[in-house]
A and B are shown apart, each in its own frame.
Chain A
Amino acid sequence: MNLHQLTIKEASGLIQSGETTSEEITRDILDRIEKHDSSIRAYLHVDRDASLLSAKESDNPDKKPGDFPLRGIPLGIKDILCTKGMKTTCGSYSLHNFVPGYDATVVGRLKADQAVITGKTNLDEFAMGSSNENSAFGVTRNPWNTDYVPGGSSGGSAAAVAAGFCLGAIGTDTGGSIRQPASHCSVVGLKPTYGRVSRYGLVSYASSLDQAGPITRTVEDAAIIMNSISGRDPADSTSADRSVPDFTSGLLEFEQKGLKGMKAGVPREFMEVEGLDPQVAEIFDRSRKVLEELGVDIVEVSLPHTEYAVAAYYIIAPCEASSNLARFDGVRYGHRSPQKSDLIDMYKNTKSEGFGAEVQRRIIMGTYALSSGYYDEYYGRAAKVRSLIMKDFEQAFESCDILLSPVAPTPAFRIGENIDDPLTMYLTDVFTIPANMAGVPGISVPAGFSREGLPVGLQMTARRFDELSLFRAGYGFEKSLGLDRSVNL
């Protein structure tokens, strides 16, 4: 039995029945990281001793009795979520030495549910990027083919799950950063409804768009993690005061009722996107048929402002980033430049030494768009377009329960292919950005492979707070497709 290949559900069952222990699984995973992660670079830090210690503790249920579906399960955490006493760098030199004094709420909830934190996964600096090439500490490689990017910005989390370096992981998604790497690495990724999961301790990039969520091998595992991390948190006033369902009931609903009676909309504008790879379109068509065979009624819908979503996003996100990242000025934490004749000089040198090119570009872009005389033309317009995009979704969901689309226009691209062409890189987010703009939940489920052997996912989005429909449809789709997704390293 390969312990590192287990799903969370399987591992939890084996631990509970006494067939294995968290310590055995965690040890197997740590050994695998040690042996193979030098060629993938999915992790930025792994704390072997701490992981084994917490695995041993979770193996002793007398210490904390109770039924915890995540008891003893080794999980990776994107290195943008604060972990008490464990370095949190955001993939940035500016935080190369930062050790938080507290856990992000997401991390705290996972620990309280007896999960084992293996370490912190690699990412594009401050979650800005779609390829993990913007990490200050080395590019993550796609476990399916190491010449290719894993996607981003949660590329380390997706690669770690695919490669067997953890049984599940947490990512964050501001414009597609959970769903797109999940698609490129053939794993499941869920961006919850905005407000479903607390952002406390998630280092802010674009506060009105950021959301943390699970990256896992199966839809069921994503539901299990969601049960742990969701819900109102007094420390984050944007976390929603809504009751949290048992997300695994979405799967049960499929077992009982299948997908009959479910309506799925295909946005016409999505299928007309320039640069949609024919292989991706083909896999999407096949996926649509799989759902149809399960009884889903497919209808055509319209999201009329799709072509403006990327443009509006690349105003709103950099504007928020330019404000959020002003705090990394070398005063309270992180890197401080030794070159400092006066305070302003210290700020400038600190930030320029600390931030990489993409982060600097977005700060300049956001500062420009918010500067006197340009605010109305840029931020003001983008914020209005955002309300049109929200209305588009509301209208589309009047005639269907979920929306279907590809996750990204192409399979993973080669490392280095787009690095000097930021606009081309931005346009790869065309299918994922609208969900962040509208605050609706979205899931990426593995749907197939290109002829080159690169994974391609299917995206489903639903109404705000209706993750259950995504779990029901996603589980049904995954089950009837039955893809073999074990990767050879």
Chain B
Amino acid sequence: MKITKEKVEYIAHLARLRVDDSLVEKYAAQLSEILGYIDKLGEIDLTGVDTVAGASFDTNVMRPDEPVRSPGPDLTLANAPERDDDFYQVPRIVK
């Protein structure tokens, strides 16, 4: 699979990344090489094979619904890059 420069830019946008112009071509070449290797997965006949999402065999793990105290805004917001009282602050999104 060949990944173009444009594709890298588009995917980066979806992932909310800004990739330096100097790196786009490098990433495109490296990702093409990696995906070329991954194409070998196409060799296997997977008809009727189960899909697994993880290595945990437990399903529907239950626990008692007991309320616990939340750590509160001071601890929760202690790492906030910008805050306004008990709120996280971000650039305006409604014009």
Contacts and interface: CB of A to CB of B under 8 A. Distances in A.
A162 interface: no
B14 A371 contact: yes
A178 interface: no
A414 B88 CA distance: 45
A383 B41 contact: no
Contacts of A336: 81-82
A387 B17 contact: no
A332 B91 contact: no
A438 B55 contact: yes
B62 to A, nearest CB: 9
Interface of B is mostly: loop
Interface in A320-371: 322, 326, 329-336, 340-349, 351-352, 355, 357, 360-361, 363-365, 367-368, 371
Contacts of B82: 336
A368 B3 contact: yes
Contacts of A437: 55
A99 B12 CA distance: 29
Q: How large is the interface on B (under 10, 10 to 19, 20 to 34, 35 or more residues)?
A: 35 or more
Contact of A342 (B16, B44, B93): B93
Interface in A194-218: 194-195, 207-209
Interface string B1-36: 001000110011111111110010001001101110
B31 to A, nearest CB: 6
Contacts of A343: 90-91, 93
A194 B17 contact: no
Given A332-B88, A364-B31, A311 B40 contact: yes
12 contacts: A101-B76, A194-B56, A195-B56, A238-B56, A241-B58, A308-B40, A314-B34, A332-B88, A360-B12, A365-B31, A368-B7, A378-B41
Interface of A: 97-99, 101-102, 194-195, 207-209, 234, 237-238, 240-241, 305, 307-308, 310-312, 314-315, 322, 326, 329-336, 340-349, 351-352, 355, 357, 360-361, 363-365, 367-368, 371, 378, 380-388, 390, 422-423, 426, 436-439, 464
